[in-house]
């Protein structure tokens, strides 16, 4: 029997390329979960709400984005086998929120603790952020830092290497019950994004 | 290969005063599309204009959400049984392995898919394509890879659909996939395409991947062996996430040989 094209081998030759999440990810039963933004439940000790808007190069809202967050718990621990400190936690650490028509996102979480680096530095409390959207062919990554951690922020091995005039794009503002930070994909005050 | 910055090199090669030893992941920018791809209009106001700053692989980057089986229902992998009746269209099986670029399987990781129905229409309020909705097809599924990285979905072959990016623009048939891997650095959103699609040449999203070999890695392979006779055709699609770099310890051992 004739065999079809079997050029693809079992040996991978490189990473599968990234593609846009497109505008239609928000299908029923799709990748947005009802509890996606709730890293912790309402009323959990130390719960804060971090929120903001995702904006495009004209300053207009991006209503078809997904904001995903990943962070340590309040003691600086991760529920993960590659955390070689042997610490343990049951903290989910992951949040996922689709933006609304105004481009707004939010997560309910706790403020993370500080983290050691292999070369002996200490990372300030931070939340890693992935933004996915129509028009983004690859995810973009940024971090949220906290305004009430001036000393830790100044010593942070990542934040301290960011140009001083762009550092502010990574530092949230404090408000009652939490923090606010807009993510500007482009334009004046473009958010600093990282290559991971 | 992505150029390494100084901080990254120091972290990877000097003994850790803290005793903390972290894996690091390969950077492989060459496989991926540029964010500012001129032909894809939606990038114009959304792709960042400023250069990205290289992020060292510290604790937050080498760990990642390990979302578990509690997120996956019994029929979530079978998009043809989620409603009372069977969806219209060509039933297909999509299966393969999730691997890293070292060829190691990525076990127990969440795979999510979403797609148009057989007529090329999404069940989404923003989709204005005048093709019929299918009451028996939502177009979403999820499953976990097993201990060897295998995954499998049963679904309907999605239809092509028009969009307004350029004159007479049509998306090739595709299934969106979302993967987490085991580290923040491995997160991947991609699209699986079908072999021999006549729409490839005019699609700016497919062609945003400039390396032809990398583009081929987004095209599934028709596989007669896993086709189920008189029931469904089958497509194989392996997904490769970025792999780990050798640890300093492994480097030392090699030096001793």
Annotate B54-87 with DSSP letters as a single string: EPP--HHHH------GGG--TTTTBTTSSSSSPP
| B176 carries an active-site annotation | yes
Of A3, A15, A192, the CB nearest to B240: A15
SS3 call for B149: coil
Interchain pair B48, A27: CB under 8 A: no
CB interface of B with A, residues 180-239, below 8 Å:
182-185, 187-191, 195, 205, 208-209, 213-215, 217-218, 221-224, 236, 238-239
Beta strands in chain A (DSSP E): 47-55, 65-70, 94-98, 104-110, 115-116, 122-123, 126-133, 140-145, 173-175, 178-180, 183-184, 194-195
CB interface of B with A, residues 32-91, below 8 Å:
32-35, 37, 40, 42-50, 52-67, 71, 82
Of B55, B63, B205, the CB nearest to A194: B55
Is A147 within 8 Å of chain B by CB? no
* Spatial CB neighbours of B85, under 8 Å, sequence gap ≥ 6: B135, B136
Residues of chain B with pLDDT under 70: 1-17, 247-257
pLDDT at B26: 93
pLDDT at A10: 52
Query: Looking at the domain assignment, is residue B216 inside a domain?
Result: yes
Interchain pair A118, B20: CB under 8 A: yes
Cα separation, B200 vs B90, in Å, equals: 21
Is A27 within 8 Å of chain B by CB? yes
CATH number at residue B98: 2.60.130.10
Is A86 within 8 Å of chain B by CB? no
Query: Looking at the domain assignment, is residue B173 inside a domain?
Result: yes
CA-wise closest residue to B107 among B76, B149, B65: B149
Chain B hits for A131, CB-CB cut-off 8 Å, are none
CA distances from A26 to A59, A65, B126, B141 (A): 23, 10, 10, 12
Q: How are beta strands B53-54 and B161-163 bridged, if at all?
A: unpaired
Query: Looking at the domain assignment, is residue B152 inside a domain?
Result: yes
Domains of chain A: 47-184 (2.60.130.10)
| B171 carries an active-site annotation | yes
Query: Looking at the domain assignment, is residue B99 inside a domain?
Result: yes
Is A136 within 8 Å of chain B by CB? yes
Q: Which of B151, B161, B193, B235 is catalytic?
A: B161
**The pTM of the whole model exceeds 0.95:** no
Query: Looking at the domain assignment, is residue B19 inside a domain?
Result: no
Q: How are beta strands A65-70 and A94-98 bridged, if at all?
A: antiparallel
* Spatial CB neighbours of B177, under 8 Å, sequence gap ≥ 6: B111, B112, B113, B188, B189, B190, B191, B192, B239
CA distances from B151 to A4, B83, B244 (A): 22, 22, 22
Bridge partners (DSSP) listed for residue B53: A194
Query: Looking at the domain assignment, is residue B113 inside a domain?
Result: yes
Residues B201, B180, A189: CA angle, nearest 5 degrees = 75
pLDDT at B249: 53
- Half-sphere exposure at residue B180, Cβ-oriented, CA atoms within 13 angstroms: 24
pLDDT at B6: 37
Q: DSSP 3-state helix, strand, coil percentages of chain A (rounded to 5)?
A: 10, 30, 60
The token pair at B28 is 């492989």
The token pair at B52 is 């990205």
* Spatial CB neighbours of B95, under 8 Å, sequence gap ≥ 6: B150, B151, B152, B153, B226, B234, B235, B236, B237
Tokens 């079992």 sit on residue: A10
pLDDT at B12: 46
Query: Looking at the domain assignment, is residue B4 inside a domain?
Result: no
Number of domains in chain B: 1
* Domain with B84 in it: 65-240
Residues of chain A with pLDDT under 70: 1-13
Query: Looking at the domain assignment, is residue B47 inside a domain?
Result: no
3-state secondary structure A34-73: CCCCECCCCCCCCEEEEEEEEECCCCCECCCEEEEEECCC
SS3 call for A142: strand
């Amino acid at each position: 029997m004739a065999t079809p094209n079997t050029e693809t081998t079992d040996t991978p030759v490189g990473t599968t390329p990234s593609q846009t999440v497109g505008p239609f990810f928000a299908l029923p039963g799709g990748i947005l979960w009802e509890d996606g933004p709730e890293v912790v439940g309402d009323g959990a000790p130390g719960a804060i709400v971090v929120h903001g808007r995702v904006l495009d190069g004209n300053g207009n809202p991006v209503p078809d984005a997904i904001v995903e967050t990943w962070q340590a718990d309040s003691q600086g621990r991760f529920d993960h086998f590659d955390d070689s400190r042997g610490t343990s936690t049951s903290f989910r650490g992951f949040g996922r929120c689709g933006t609304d028509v105004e481009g707004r996102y939010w997560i309910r979480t706790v403020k993370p603790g500080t983290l050691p680096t292999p070369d002996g530095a200490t990372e300030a409390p931070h939340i890693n952020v992935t933004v996915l959207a129509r028009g983004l062919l690859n995810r973009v990554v940024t971090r949220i830092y906290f305004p009430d951690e001036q000393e830790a922020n100044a010593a942070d091995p990542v934040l301290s290497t960011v140009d001083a005039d762009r550092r502010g794009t990574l530092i949230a503002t404090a408000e009652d019950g939490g923090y606010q930070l807009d993510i500007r994909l482009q334009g004046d005050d473009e958010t600093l994004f990282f290559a991971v | 290969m992505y150029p390494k910055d100084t901080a990254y090199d120091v972290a990877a090669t000097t003994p850790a005063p803290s005793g903390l030893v972290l894996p690091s992941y390969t950077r492989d920018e060459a496989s991926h599309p540029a964010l500012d791809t001129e032909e894809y209009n939606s990038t114009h106001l959304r792709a960042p204009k400023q250069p990205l700053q290289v992020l060292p692989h510290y604790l937050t980057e080498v760990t990642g959400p390990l979302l578990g089986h509690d997120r996956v229902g019994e029929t979530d992998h079978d998009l043809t049984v989620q409603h009372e009746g069977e969806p219209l269209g060509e039933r297909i099986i999509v299966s393969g392995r999730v691997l890293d670029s070292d060829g190691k399987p990525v076990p127990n990781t969440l795979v999510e898919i979403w797609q148009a129905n057989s007529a090329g229409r999404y069940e989404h309020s923003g989709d204005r394509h005048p093709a019929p909705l299918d009451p028996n097809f939502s177009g979403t599924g999820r499953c976990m890879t097993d201990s060897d990285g295998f995954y499998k979905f049963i679904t309907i072959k999605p239809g092509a659909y028009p969009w307004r990016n350029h004159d007479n623009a049509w998306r090739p048939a595709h299934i969106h996939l979302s993967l987490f891997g085991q580290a923040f650095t491995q997160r991947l959103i991609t699209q699986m395409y079908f072999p021999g699609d006549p729409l490839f040449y005019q699609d700016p999203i497919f062609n945003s991947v400039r390396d032809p070999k990398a583009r081929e890695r987004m095209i599934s392979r028709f596989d007669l062996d896993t086709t189920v006779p008189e029931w469904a055709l089958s497509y194989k699609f392996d997904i490769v996430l970025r792999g780990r770099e050798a640890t300093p310890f492994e480097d030392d051992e090699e030096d001793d040989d």
